[in-house]
Chain A
């Protein structure tokens, strides 16, 4: 191209841009009137709140949904809710991503060959009804298999099953705690999971039960633990063969050899039974039936030193309110039934006397089955006995051993139907898929614990052509029997609630989101005969041969169900800080034995089990253990325990080979160690304080009414990253994906840094913008986009930022995030954006603002009433979600504020104090 042509082209281009930009400023937007103003006072620009219940896992925490312009934009914990006490975990926070997921199923789909054909609801219902009638004639059984269900939907399912002659199979959950329920059935005749009175205990011993991750009600337990530690001085020992987040947070973590839990519990029981105080609790027949075991054998078996064992026994003897909980991986192995039985028997001795178990507030696992029920279903499928199979909200294909070939056998049903909101392994094999409405689009109720009725209410109109499970069942009932319980599920709920609640209860139900119905506490008694029989069958087994694999539940995806939510892929795993992708953990020593580094693939094999994943070195993990997160298990569990029906999650005698392949793992932490920098100070760091003398060319900051500050208690922080997820959603932080993470371009405003000491003990510190008095980022900004505001906030004016990134270079805490791209939000994800926040575009620096939009809202409320903002009126998103109340926010200039009082405690310090940045984030060191 010559110069002339170039200039011609330039002229053309600039001319067109000039002309096209004419009038672009005006008439860009419309003001659209309402036809009739909404009754409930929804006003544009003003937030409304609705109470509801989270349904990401069977725990069912209480939530409040924040609505803007008729759409849900944020979830927070419902402060009064009896299950979660105001906290919400990261999976709960990410539930909005499920609602607005771009791949949500939008219409019923019928399988045609390898693809799907969208069909109408009418046709789908007709097909199901016809198939049900036809298979009943051909003496095939129709079946209904659902995930954990409670409340009105469970009642409706029962009516539906009765009237339409459909077999309602036991509910399927992968974490079904079957061994525990069977043990309680055996001991007390109650096949239920009690509520544990952790908040009243002064000593907690957990064996395998991952209280903080996936065990029954993790958010509630985290809160109970925090309260007990604070008020009862609870001491907590955790016993497990691997390293979990729960173990990392216990006061003492005892590492035992895999498969030795039963021996350990037996020795404990036998030792405690020698004390007169406990011997009275056990009838002589039971004492006689207990197999004898010596301390040497227990030591040898568990790999624990004798001193640890005797100390554990002594602490249990001394404690006034000891509580022992078994579960998790301890009961999900071949000797799992024994572990559960002995653990529950120990509870009878230790915990039942002070009423630490409440069976009248049992968790909702009453109708849960186990993998044996699934095996039975698989057999029926193989024998061509199944007519219509409706599978709702559960994923049996993913969670059954691959050798069962459940996916292929499902095709042998006359018609298989999956009800789900997003595709699962199961829905990919069924003939028909019915899309379900999401939690935020329908009325419903759940009963997470006996006596606690929790409300689910719609926050918005359904986004897609979906229906609720209740409506589907009612219509099927109508088609099959000619009459249904009610015209719609909403009507059905109204009828049921009128029967269930008094008028005042109903009002509280709608306004507060839950109703608790008390029932007198019944006493439980030990059934001696079956207990003796079961004890006689116990044979103390040898531990599993090393190396062993432990399949762990994930705090990020539970049993894998939440892995489809992109936000959770973006938040690092608390222990390994890996974000996107799968991995297998092993100790650095074991890694050097196999000659693998981070990201190098390891193939683990045993007779009929094989998995290959990139390695991730995990300090603190015992040698001889491979930790396999459940998401990394590509092909279902390796097998089931035929005695209990739980999936096998601990497998010994594993062979491992490096495959030579290397995968780039996005690992967000720079180093597992603090490298002596005292970010979480050890005693050595506290000795000399070497403050740099403060010199500045700028005027000293002067605060008149407010100096916002935050106190983070590291003793309480459990590293669960609920705050991180909450921050992401509140501030519409973009999710950037694996490739960007590999380049170190993650966008999280708040991160949890795990640090390991030489003994492999982990401590966690949340790191966010420190809002320094003398912030190093401010003076280097050439355009005054980063500046210090009169209330102490380090503000970033986004539209003024030109993207030099000097501020980020100069920040010692590395908390500033740069937008390398115009991040895309696949529709309808953009509906989740918080309208109180400026949209950031390519080339802008962003960071934690202390939730300035919430401060602004508080200013406006206070301004209306002509007063100052009260303490506790501003709660940033991170503090709101924290299950242990580790984060306190407030005004330092108010001497009565919680934060001002907290920072006076001797545990207070600030990170990198020596730099003289004077941060406004105060940490309370853990010891």
Chain B
């Protein structure tokens, strides 16, 4: 009699099955990784309906943030400027530039500008600009140096951990109900 146990039928099948399950998970991991890579590097940058250069307005002209985002000191939301605010200057200034022509086109059509939102918090979060400005937080603390961005990007994660780290270091309230609605 041989020492070796007889080869049981079905071992090969089992091996194949293990391989299949392994490759399923391997593929899953690979797909996730590549998807995040694509999102990180190859996704087209968000395109705003009008290429508004914060560099010109906030840096060169040195306009204060709340010149346009007028709610920032008094209210929860900073707000985007109404078309009439843009036009208070641009009805006369640089009207021949293509981007300003776009702006005037919106006015002609009576259509609001639909800006792409970059700094977006979930629905269940209560955030107020006013309190943060009152606590003497510079806008740049959360929005980065917008005046040096030709096209605004989100530079902070705006995730809970990031909020809490700042609240902790500054002794701001850390009760859940402060932010969670």
Contacts and interface: CB of A to CB of B under 8 A. Distances in A.
A11 B27 contact: yes
A860 B28 CA distance: 47
A785 to B, nearest CB: 9
A838 interface: yes
A10 B123 CA distance: 32
B115 A19 contact: no
A22 B35 contact: yes
Contact of A32 (B85, B115, B128): B115
Interface residues of B, number: 46
Interface stretch (A41-49, A331-339, A470-478, A594-602): A41-49
B176 A35 contact: no
B180 A838 contact: yes
Contacts of B122: 799
Given A3-B17, A32-B113, A33-B82, A43 B71 contact: yes
A863 B180 CA distance: 18
Contacts of A791: 175
B77 A44 contact: yes
Interface in B51-76: 71, 75-76
B43 interface: yes
Nearest to A30: B114
A195 B129 CA distance: 51
A684 B159 CA distance: 56
Contacts of B85: 37
Interface in A782-799: 787, 789-791, 793, 795, 797-799
Interface string A1-23: 00110010011001100110011
A856 B126 contact: yes
Contacts of B21: 7
Contacts of B24: 7, 10-11
Nearest to A31: B115
B160 to A, nearest CB: 10
A837 interface: yes
A694 interface: no
A861 B27 CA distance: 54
Contacts, number: 122
Contacts of B134: 863-864
Contacts of A856: 126, 177
Contact of A43 (B77, B123, B181): B77
Given A22-B38, A23-B43, A795-B176, A35 B110 contact: yes
Contact of A45 (B32, B75, B83, B175): B75
Given A789-B176, A790-B175, A837 B181 contact: yes
A863 B131 CA distance: 8
Contacts of B124: 798-799, 838-839
Nearest to A34: B82
Given A18-B35, A799-B122, A799-B180, A30 B117 contact: yes
Contacts of A43: 71, 75, 77, 79
B84 interface: yes
A856 B120 CA distance: 21
B90 to A, nearest CB: 14
Given A15-B31, A838-B124, A46 B116 contact: no
A524 interface: no
A34 B112 contact: yes
A673 interface: no
Contacts of B31: 15, 18-19
Nearest to A856: B126
A360 B154 CA distance: 67
A838 B124 CA distance: 4
B99 interface: no
20 contacts: A7-B20, A15-B31, A18-B28, A22-B35, A28-B120, A30-B114, A33-B113, A35-B107, A35-B110, A36-B83, A43-B71, A43-B75, A45-B77, A46-B76, A787-B176, A795-B175, A797-B176, A798-B181, A799-B180, A836-B126
Given A34-B112, A43-B75, A45-B77, 4 more contacts: A18-B28, A31-B115, A795-B180, A797-B177
Interface of A: 3-4, 7, 10-11, 14-15, 18-19, 22-23, 26-37, 43-46, 787, 789-791, 793, 795, 797-800, 836-839, 852-853, 856, 860, 863-864
